[in-house]
Amino acid sequence: MLDPWSRRLIDPPLNAVGALLARAGLGADAVTLVGLVIGLGAVPALAFGQFWLALGLILANRLADGLDGAIARAAGASDRGGYLDIVADFAFYGLIPFGFALADPVRNALPAAFVLASFMGTASSFLAFAALAAKRGLTTTRRGQKSFYHLGGLAEGSETILFLVAGCLFPAWFPWLAWGFGTLCWLTTLGRVAAGWRDLA
């Protein structure tokens, strides 16, 4: 929901830095992999209750995720890079809620499981539409220049980042944040299924 607005705000500076890094010879795939390693470091940080450290690692991962795309746009995007990027994103988004579950299994495990279940809905509705959109030659740049067709919804990248940041800033609220965000994800899935049903008719 917020991605079209946030992309207009963050893309210009990201593209400028990405162009500089591309000219310096830094590859987008390397940034993707380094960003993934940094982001996964948030899982043990969460497990041991180091929420400020986890927050820093999560934000660093998201910065790397923005920079790898900017570098790819400057140096030339590749299918391999797009594939690596989406796999890294889903690995990150899947493991961070697990980190919150490890932090307090009694209070957080069930809400974290609900979030992970909701990610199955948003991921499948997103990737299935992207595959069929590619087959039909459909494209969009509403959420920036991407390797895949990005079908929108109430819960996208911006909302997911806000959820994770809020969980780190207010860890005692994680169960309520998770139930609310997971519900938003399921509403997103329903909306995407309806849009896919319409657009792929």
As given in the structure block, the two tokens for residue 200 are 């792929």
Please provide the CATH number assigned to the domain covering 3-199. Answer: 1.20.120.1760
What would the pLDDT profile of 26-44 be if each residue is shown by its tens digit? Answer: 999 999 999 999 999 999 9
Would the pLDDT of 144 be above 60? no
35: which residues sit within 8 A by CB, 6+ positions away? 60, 61, 63, 64, 65, 67, 68, 88
Length of the chain: 201
What would the pLDDT profile of 60-99 be if each residue is shown by its tens digit? Answer: 999 999 999 999 999 888 889 989 999 999 999 999 999 9
Residue 161: the pLDDT is: 96
* Phi, psi (degrees; rounded to nearest 5) at 156: -125, -155
CB distance 125 to 189 below 8 Å: yes
CB distance 115 to 182 below 8 Å: yes
Would the pLDDT of 132 be above 90? no
User: What radius of gyration, in Å, describes the C-alpha atoms of the chain?
Assistant: 17
Neighbours of 188 (CB within 10 A): 23
- Rounded to whole angstroms, how far apart are CA atoms 149 and 145? 9
